[in-house]
Amino acid sequence: MIGGLFIYNHKGEVLISRVYRDDIGRNAVDAFRVNVIHARQQVRSPVTNIARTSFFHVKRSNIWLAAVTKQNVNAAMVFEFLYKMCDVMASYFGKISEENIKNNFVLIYELLDEILDFGYPQNSETGALKTFITQQGIKGQHQTKEEQSQITSQVTGQIGWRREGIKYRRNELFLDVLESVNLLMSPQGQVLSAHVSGRVVMKSYLSGMPECKFGMNDKIVIDKAGKGGVTNEAGKSDLGGGGSTSGKQSIAIDDCTFNQCVRLSKFDSERSISFIPPDGEYELMRYRTTKDIILPFRVIPLVREVGRTKLEVKVVIKSNFKPSLLAQKIEVRIPTPLNTSGVQVICMKGKAKYKASENAIVWKIKRMAGMKESQISAEIELLPTNDKKKWARPPISMNFEVPFAPSGLKVRYLKVFESKLNYSDHDVVKWVRYIGQSGIYETRC
């Protein structure tokens, strides 16, 4: 599988080096440094082949993680391992930086010994690793036989992501629906492409070994319910009230991936998400949808050229959600030509500033209610130029945060079952939150 794993800083110096197979020599370290990190042209592909050796790399801030192999391996699995390794390191010592890696290099070697065995990925579940590998070193010398047997059953058992005997005074579940909406719109207001990428992130503080059931307004489930095939397990209760802005009954999910704790057989047969939750924070699922997306904002641009030395720009933004909801952290970036000499800006709301270093007018609004509109006008003075090439007019981009799911996803029910301990679903305190953010949200002008 993986022949070796190397971690470099931005200079190409090796911070961590671990070789698992004899076919990977020390020259592989230099090959990656010379051909990727110090390459004259930027290497855009995450996979590089050098002298019949494959290098798979990911970059976190100024740190490079490279997995090396001479075999024909599954590339998706290698990248999944590298991303999981980043998550494990982040959960142990926070931000992945050169200083943190140098301060925790003994811990990282301990983790690599546990996660990879002869180049094959083993147990990478953070909760299980933290039971016997801590920042003070590996536990084991001062543990009782009972504690050691619990760890062994957790690592080698069927439920490796959760240990037995967890107890909380107050049982709580936090569920966040985090969505990123991406848009490319024409100047006339026609949607050229749009999709939503979403994540369901949970924090569970539950005693014992509970089983959870999570339901959403998936189109297939709703259609079955309409035909009498499926009933809502939550009865009349709906945890998603106020999350969506339209009376959308169901959403069509194009594709989704689940955490390893989810029972896929039940999802395939019943479309219900049933799982034994890990303790603490984890990502339950990822999904993507392209149909019937709620676009939180509409950008209407108007650009007029006055001769060759002046541009008049007017941009109107309209919010398209309930008046009772508030959008936050709104930022509109209006590009300007390279030969701009001066800009005069008038905006109705918020603050606008011309940033010459970024060739853009940046307009910031702290908050904006639904079904409102605001506008900005700018006069751009241009320097005379001999270049006959017309200005390319890059798209206007927008950033924002809204308190609903642009896909229309709703949490229909979230139930907890624990047979051994004396607490029921009604004793669990549940919190549901919806956050929609802009991804690449652009309008051509």
445 residues of the chain, pLDDT tens digit each: 898 999 999 998 999 999 988 888 878 888 888 888 888 787 788 999 888 899 999 998 889 999 999 988 999 999 999 999 998 888 888 889 899 899 888 889 989 988 888 888 888 877 777 777 776 544 444 445 555 555 555 455 567 788 888 899 999 999 999 999 999 999 999 999 999 999 999 999 999 999 999 888 877 655 555 554 433 333 333 454 444 444 467 888 888 899 889 988 888 777 789 999 998 888 999 999 999 899 999 999 999 988 888 999 999 999 999 999 999 999 999 999 999 999 999 998 999 999 999 999 999 999 999 999 999 999 999 998 887 778 889 999 999 999 999 999 999 999 999 888 878 889 999 999 999 999 999 999 8
Q: 184 and 192 in contact (C-beta within 8 Å)?
A: yes
pLDDT at 237: 36
Report the distance separating Cα 66 and Cα 79, nearest Å: 10
Phi, psi of 163 (to 5 degrees): -95, 160
Domains of the chain: 4-132 (3.30.450.60), 172-225+250-293+405-443 (2.60.40.1170), 297-402 (2.60.40.1170)
Q: Could you give the CA distance from residue 18 to residue 121 in angstroms, rounded to a whole number?
A: 14
Q: CA 349 from chain center: how many Å?
A: 31
pLDDT of residue 210: 92
Measured between its terminal Cα atoms, the distance across the chain in Å is 50
Instruction: Tell me which residue of 406, 389, 410, 396 sits closest to 441, measured CA to CA.
Output: 396
Q: What's the chain look like in SS3?
A: CCCEEEEECCCCCEEEEEECCCCCCCHHHHHHHHHHHCCCCCCCCCEEEECCEEEEEEEECCEEEEEEECCCCCHHHHHHHHHHHHHHHHHHHCCCCHHHHHHCHHHHHHHHHHHEECCEECCCCHHHHCCCEECCEECCCCCCHHHHHHHHHHHHCCCCCCCCCCCCCCCEEEEEEEEEEEEEECCCCCEEEEEEEEEEEEEEECCCCCEEEEEECEHHHHHHHHCCCCCCCCCCCCCCCCCCCCCCCCECCCEEEECCCECHHHHHHHCCEEECCCCEEEEEEEEEECCCCCCCEEEEEEEEECCCCEEEEEEEEEECCCCCCEEEEEEEEEECCCCEEEEEEEECCCEEEEEHHHCEEEEEEEEEECCCEEEEEEEEEECCCCCCCCCCCCCEEEEEEECCCCCCCCEEEEEEECCCCCCCHHHCEEEEEEEEEEEEEEECC
Can you read off the two tokens belonging to residue 394? 């890059």
Angle, in degrees to the nearest 10, between helices 75-93 and 105-115? 140
The confidence score (pLDDT) of residue 234 equals 35
Looking at residue 217, its amino acid is: N
What is the pLDDT at residue 183? 96
Q: Specify the pLDDT at position 40.
A: 78
One-letter amino acid at 176 equals D
Residues annotated within the binding site are: 351, 353, 355, 364, 366
Residue with tokens 């896929």: 264
pLDDT at site 286: 93
Encoded amino acid at 258, one letter: F
Residue-level pLDDT at 284: 93
Q: How far apart are CA 291 and CA 196, in angstroms?
A: 9
pTM of the prediction? Answer: 0.73
- Distance (Å, rounded) from C-alpha 224 to C-alpha 403? 29
Task: Identify which of 354, 244, 336, 345 has the alpha carbon closest to the alpha carbon of residue 296.
Answer: 244
* Exposure string for 269-300, b = 16+ CB within 10 A, e = fewer: eebbbbbbbbbeebebbbbbbeeebbbbbebb
